[in-house]
Amino acid sequence: MWEKVKNFASEFFVTGDPMIYGADVAIVITIIGIVFGLTYLKKWGWLWREWLTTVDHKKIGIMYIFAAFLMLFRGGVDALLMRAQLAMPELSFLAPDHYNQVFTTHGVIMILFMAMPFMFGLFNVMVPLQIGARDVAYPFLNALSFWLFFAGAMLFNLSFVIGGSPDSGWLAYPPYSERMFNPGVGQDFYIWGIQISGIGSLMTGINFIVTILKMRAPGMKLMKMPMFPWSVLSSCIAIIFSFPILTATLALLFLDRYLGAHFFTLDGGGNPMMYINLIWMWGHPEVYILILPAFGIFSEVVCTFSKKKLFGYKSMVYAMMIISILSFLVWAHHFFTMGSGADVNAFFALTTMLIAIPTGVKVFNWLFTMFRGRITFETPMLWTIGFIVCFIIGGLTGVLLSVAPADFQFHNSYFLISHFHNTIIGGVVFGYFAGLYYWWPKLFGFKLNERIGKWAFWFWNIGFYVCFMPQYVLGLMGMTRRLVTYGWDKGWWELNLVSTVGAALMGIAFLFQLWQIVYSIKHFQKDETGDPWNGRTLEWSIPSPAPHYNFATLPQVSSQDEWWEEKQRRARGQLAPVRLKLEPIHMPKNSGIPFVMSMFWFAAGFGFVFDWLWLTVSGLAGVAVCMLVHSFNYKTDYYIPVEEIKRTEAAMRR
């Protein structure tokens, strides 16, 4: 009996690597610390009422952002491990199998479990406030979306210590991801972690399209919306058309692995190129899904800190909607070298060049907005300026990669790696940092320390260029990606060492950001105005942090930048619009069903991974029961009485 237990444990848990053992200890200590802290402080009820069961879009957004920071730490550690392995030739810091797992999990975590929740967090906290709504269209669905993301992310990350991480690359190309070459459970963790979280992403896309189209404040026509909701709308349109492709693709891969279906195996009549086409039909729109909301953030920040109206509002709207459409017509530029033929390559080269045009339009719009503006250089504006420089470099190298003959040289090299990080870090991550710094006072009622924030900004930017600029040269020198080591004779070690130093600088920048948050909480200085940046949009018209119901009375909108125009009217001595009479506010009730349902999804996914039919069936049955219980729950809302609204408003405005 004891031998059976030992054999099961040796196969179930990842063993043999000191770093894994260290992670095991850290996980156990963290769990014990959390349980002890909640028990000692008697906060279990508070945790359940205020967070685990909440349907408040602001709290859900905060949880998304918190999860994104955890995943940024995990993905950043993976990046530092890779750079440590490649800092010098012929190092054996990581074993080859472990290195494959690290670069696989790094890509998946940073794109799907860091950037996506960071984006969804900013969606949640600001879109309803900017359009003058009290919540999203489907609050219950919003909570379920978060908890499905969380369940999928935890399932994927569990592979680090249980069963083994996936090791076939962040897009899991066959045949590397097929059962023949990848018999372990790591690839199944990959499939079900992404599938479960992907369901939540799709529901978020639907939710915010409906919210933006149907819940805008009275008078706010589409062409009077702030630019961030426009960017969210264009991103969500891409989500609802691209994520079903990902779901179907991974389902086919799972059938290959689980039932021997041979959709993507040549010896069974399948074709791995079909997988590559399908995954990039999702994968390239995904890049624009991530970057479009950042474009909206930069538009808001540039206007606020230049104290000017956005230059070319309509052209910005059209550019973002065009990008969301063209993003579906460029996927084959990821495999110009795969023998598709000159005509196919020419078509996708042309569409890739075309998509650069609306992207360039936005850069000129931001520059013209800043032209002759009264610019101040707070941290959100610094991140925006840093983005413009970085993204121009990434865009220019992207145009180089769109030239099919040139791509034959650049393909699969470190030139491509550097270009990709130029756009994702310099565009997506810098954009979300700008948004977080900008809207932090509205979320928490105080600003982050500017001095420490500027240290973080400069370490991030200097570290970025030191890390990735050498990689362009390494790519041109012939260094291909996914190398676990290289020889002294290659002449690559100096640039790789410099690149590793740059990665370390970005790691220090992340520590500065954590210090900035802790320092700002310790030296708390409440925002008494609700409008610390002298903003232009509706979220700055209410106290900070925003009350549960957002607006005591729904705002009446008559122009773009409504709050800015309202302040100008007051400055000219004009009477403010008559405030509507307070009425009871209709709000959704909290619900524990989304959290419970996501745990059943987690159990079902775990059962699929280990082929435990009893657990899979139990998990899916639990999901069905949760859906049934919710369908018979008719007490899903309540009204906040006028007296409570008055008390809340008076307390917040004190």
Domain CATH code at residue 87: 1.20.210.10
| Domain count across the chain | 1
* Rounded CA Rg of the chain: 25
Helix axis angle for 139-158 and 593-610, nearest 10°, is: 30
Residue 21 lies in a domain: no
Residue 9 lies in a domain: no
**What pLDDT score does 580 carry?**
62
Is residue 330 a contact partner of residue 357, using CB atoms and an 8 Å limit? no
Residue 29 lies in a domain: no
Residue keyed to tokens 């190309």 = 173
Residue 154 lies in a domain: yes
Number of Cβ within 10 Å of residue 617's Cβ equals 12
**What pLDDT score does 630 carry?**
95
For residue 165, CA distances in Å to 158, 171, 396, 600 come to 8, 14, 35, 22
- Burial string for 341-367 (b: 16+ CB within 10 Å, else e) reads eeeebebbbebbeebbebbebbbebbe
Range of the domain at 139: 42-653
Is residue 553 a contact partner of residue 580, using CB atoms and an 8 Å limit? yes
Give me the residues paired with residue 588 across strands: 637
Ranges of beta strands (E only) in 466-542 are none
- Burial string for 105-134 (b: 16+ CB within 10 Å, else e) reads bbbbbbbbbbbbbbbbbbbbbbbbbbbbbb
Residue 31 lies in a domain: no
**What pLDDT score does 653 carry?**
66
Number of Cβ within 10 Å of residue 49's Cβ equals 12
Number of Cβ within 10 Å of residue 220's Cβ equals 24
Tokens of 626: 């949760």
> Which pTM value belongs to this model?
0.96
Tokens of 62: 């905060």
- Cα atoms in the Cβ-side hemisphere of radius 13 Å centred on 90: 5
The β-bridge relationship of strands 585-588 and 637-640 is antiparallel
> CA 432, 529, 229, 384 torsion: positive or negative?
negative
Q: Side chain identity at 492, as an amino acid letter? A: W
Tokens of 253: 């891969």
Using CB atoms within 10 Å of the CB of residue 275, give its burial: 0 to 12 exposed, 13 to 18 middle, 19+ buried: buried
Residue 8 lies in a domain: no
CA proximity to 292, closest of 336, 221, 338, 242: 242
* pLDDT tens digits for range 572-595: 887 655 556 888 999 999 999 999
Residue 280 lies in a domain: yes
**What pLDDT score does 528 carry?**
84
Q: Which uninterrupted H or E stretch holds 81?
A: helix 57-86
Residue 122 lies in a domain: yes
Number of Cβ within 10 Å of residue 621's Cβ equals 13
> CA 636, 642, 647, 651 torsion: positive or negative?
positive
Q: Which residues of the chain have pLDDT under 50?
A: none
Per DSSP, the three-state class of 585 is strand
Give me the residues paired with residue 413 across strands: 480
Which residues are CB-neighbours of 117 under 8 A, at least 6 positions away? 64, 65, 67, 68, 71, 149, 153
